[in-house]
Amino acid sequence: MQDMGTTLIVWAAILGAIAAGSMVLGAIVGITTPMSNSTVGAMCGFGAGALISALALELVSPTVEALAHAGLAERSTEISHFVTLLAAMVGGGLIFLFLDQMLSAHGGYLRKGAYVIAQHTKNKNKRQSDLIQSIGNSSFFNSMSPTMMQDLIKLLHPKFLVEGEALFNIGDPSNELYIVRNGSMRLSHSDGTGHDADRGDLIGEVSFLAHHPHSTTAVAEHGPAELLVLHKSQYESFCRDHPEFATAVRELAGQRIQENQRQVDEATLAKQEWATLAISALRSSGNEIPTASDLTSMKEEHNNAGMAIWLGNLLDVIPESFVIGTVMLSIVAAKVATGAPVTFFEVMPLTLVGALFLANFPEALSASVNMKQQGFSTFKIITLWTVLTVICAVGAAFGAYVGESIPHSAMIVVEGIAAGAMLTMIGSAMLPEAAHLSSPNMAGFSTLIGFVAAVGFKLFE
């Protein structure tokens, strides 16, 4: 074994490069060849099933079998190993989650469609939570049912103005209702008087409801402004389903008329709370699929998201590559113990390497598309995946090198951490991605086929 040390490390590096080489192929296909979502989803499910099979057979099964076949003298030791394996798996899962969340905070979640939807929903839910706090005890919203609020939220659309740009002028048709989201608007009458509408204020509701042209000019006088718009046709359709909303808005408009007459704004708080609720509730609630503009906004929030995507995939495959070397070494030890010849193909963990090859392809494919959208050149994307392949080869070689010097109990910890990280990654990324891109049934069946295919590799070992 000692004489073969260098050879075994080289073999492990080759196996790591083979398992990770599909990432380069996946990147090339993802950039150059259009592929349907259902096909990519099925591939993700297949890879997930193959990985589940590989980690069960190669990382977990040996310790379980050792416990099952242990004699009375060895049983306490094997029980200790088994408990260590379970604890290490939980630890590996927690480590993966911690690192994954760190990367996701910098845009790494963009590497997975399912991650994007989850992050999108999380962002929406946070705004909804802030929204609930902002409306407090507003009587206007307390009278609204949750269903009515959700329907209203879906109808609001943003509008942006640069400094000095007019939203409308005196005499313009009034076909929309506006809510100030950010900035402020200056509303001026023909006699030169006017007032500012700040964040949360309604604009144009009196003319809107009276079907009269605007009696004021609204300009973003103090800087850029963002407004939320409710179109007339949408308002009318919504009020047919929720007539109580029309009543509430008319009452609010009546208050504005009284305010204009008295020059006293007694209902500012109620209007502020209503507008604030509308602001943060744009199409919120539920696991809605982000639109193209949503995706653009999410990507623009992270200038370094391209690298985070790559680092996220590195996080996914590091434990996989490391155990290639350790598993290969255990096969070598078994062969040496029985006197069987030790050749490259005889000690190749075909189930594990094949499963990783199949799983890495769709991961790199979908991630490369996102990296391309981040502005990365084709050359840079291919180079990054090639570097990742080299890193994985080094990781496998390191696994073989370490495996020769650490005791069996420590190896169980290493393999348990790797198994826990891999299984957490499968459950949190690959399976949701498969179900999102294809369908739950297709994801489930392709996972089964991947599991069966990986188990079938045992026939060739």
Complete DSSP assignment for 241-288: H-HHHHHHHHHHHHHHHHHHHHT--S-HHHHHHHHHHHHHTTT-SS-P
Structural domain ending residue among the three candidates 240, 265, 289: 289
Whether residue 449 sits in one domain with residue 312: yes
Tell me, yes or no, whether 113 lies in a domain: no
Tell me, yes or no, whether 338 lies in a domain: yes
204: left (phi over 0), alpha (psi -120 to 50) or beta: left
Whether residue 76 sits in one domain with residue 171: no
Structural domain ending residue among the three candidates 289, 319, 345: 289
Q: How many residues does the chain have?
A: 461
Whether residue 148 sits in one domain with residue 40: no
Q: What is the pLDDT of residue 298?
A: 45
Q: Among 37, 20, 51, which Cα is nearest to 427's? A: 51
Q: What is the pLDDT of residue 200?
A: 64
Tell me, yes or no, whether 119 lies in a domain: no
Whether residue 323 sits in one domain with residue 267: no
Whether residue 152 sits in one domain with residue 279: yes
Whether residue 315 sits in one domain with residue 253: no
Cα separation, 378 vs 28, whole angstroms: 8
Q: What is the pLDDT of residue 14?
A: 94
- Is residue 196 a contact partner of residue 186, using CB atoms and an 8 Å limit? yes
Cα separation, 198 vs 269, whole angstroms: 12
Q: What is the pLDDT of residue 425?
A: 81
Q: What is the pLDDT of residue 224?
A: 86
Whether residue 152 sits in one domain with residue 281: yes
CATH code at 221? Answer: 2.60.120.10
Tell me, yes or no, whether 318 lies in a domain: yes
Whether residue 101 sits in one domain with residue 215: no
Domain count, the chain: 2
Reading the block at residue 203, the tokens are: 């604009």
Structural domain ending residue among the three candidates 268, 289, 310: 289
Q: What is the pLDDT of residue 288?
A: 44
Tell me, yes or no, whether 346 lies in a domain: yes
Q: What is the pLDDT of residue 275?
A: 45
Range of the domain at 216: 130-289
Contacts of 10 (CB under 8 A, 6+ apart): 397
Q: How much is the pTM?
A: 0.55
Contacts of 207 (CB under 8 A, 6+ apart): 174, 213, 214, 215
Q: What is the mean pLDDT of each run of 10 residues along the chain (461 residues)?
A: 73 92 90 79 84 86 89 89 94 84 58 49 52 41 66 72 87 84 83 78 78 88 81 83 78 67 47 46 41 45 51 72 84 80 84 82 77 79 91 90 79 85 82 79 91 82 65
375: left (phi over 0), alpha (psi -120 to 50) or beta: left
Tell me, yes or no, whether 455 lies in a domain: yes
Whether residue 265 sits in one domain with residue 152: yes
Tell me, yes or no, whether 162 lies in a domain: yes
Q: Facing residues of 176 across strands?
A: 231
Whether residue 216 sits in one domain with residue 80: no
Rg (CA), the chain: 30
Tell me, yes or no, whether 116 lies in a domain: no
Whether residue 231 sits in one domain with residue 101: no
The values of phi and psi at residue 161, to 5°, are -130, 140
Whether residue 103 sits in one domain with residue 182: no
